[in-house]
Chain A
Amino acid sequence: DAGVIQSPRHEVTEMGQEVTLRCKPISGHDYLFWYRQTMMRGLELLIYFNNNVPIDDSGMPEDRFSAKMPNASFSTLKIQPSEPRDSAVYFCASTRSGGGGFEAFFGQGTRLTVV
């Protein structure tokens, strides 16, 4: 299996621009998570989906952030408009329920820089 695939790996954008991050979870996994990692705040859960349905978006910083999962093999995280404080590494992770394990498989991440 190719693992969780994220794109792009790096993104540099100007303040005010729209940014879209993409994620393909591992096939057969029914949970998908978006995390943000910064030095100050560590790994923060932004939102997660179960069977393509958003379950908890309480970690989404503000209305500028939105996430979708139109099908089981694709999700996007969008920031519009972007701000310098959004600069971070964004990770997507997926998990398969059942079997007693709750381990999350992370993608390589997208390093976002907003200038």
Chain B
Amino acid sequence: GQQVMQIPQYQHVQEGEDFTTYCNSSTTLSNIQWYKQRPGGHPVFLIQLVKSGEVKKQKRLTFQFGEAKKNSSLHITATQTTDVGTYFCAGPNSSGGSNYKLTFGKGTLLTVNP
């Protein structure tokens, strides 16, 4: 079945350093979404990418969708302690289901040392 893999599993940085997490799908995706989950919280939608090669920015966060629509990345510039949490990518399940049935990656847990 479809697999969505994220690396790294964990990342610890000093405040002010940059951070990147990568997401790879075993199948081509019609779109990809990113979520953030704070410790003890619930996943919160960040962004959706649809077009091949698309790049979107939200303040210090830059999201990219690969040309083949099988991979994506999230880059945070100059991390802050408020960036702590687990970042998940998610794509529609390719097993004939609807675009609303998502497969989530295992996530990257980011910790920031002040």
Binding site for B on A (CB under 8 A): 31, 33, 42-43, 45, 48, 50, 55-56, 91, 93, 95, 97, 100-109
Given A42-B104, A42-B107, A48-B100, A103 and B45 contact (CB-CB distance below 8 Å) = yes
CB of B98 within 8 Å of the partner chain: yes
CB of B92 within 8 Å of the partner chain: yes
User: Contact: A107 with B48, CB < 8 Å?
Assistant: no
A70 and B42 CA atoms in complex are apart in Å by 25
User: Contact: B88 with A48, CB < 8 Å?
Assistant: no
A-B contact list, 6 entries, CB within 8 Å: A43-B43, A56-B101, A102-B31, A102-B100, A107-B42, A109-B42
Given contacts A102-B31, A104-B100, 5 further A-B contacts (CB under 8 A): A33-B100, A45-B93, A45-B101, A56-B101, A102-B100
Which chain A residue lies CB-closest to B41? A108
Interface residues of A, dominant DSSP: strand
A29 and B67 CA atoms in complex are apart in Å by 32
User: Contact: A43 with B48, CB < 8 Å?
Assistant: no
Given A97-B100, A101-B48, A42 and B42 contact (CB-CB distance below 8 Å) = no
User: Contact: B45 with A104, CB < 8 Å?
Assistant: yes
Contact residues, B68-88 vs A (CB, 8 A):
88
Q: Smallest CB–CB gap between A8 and chain B, Å?
A: 15
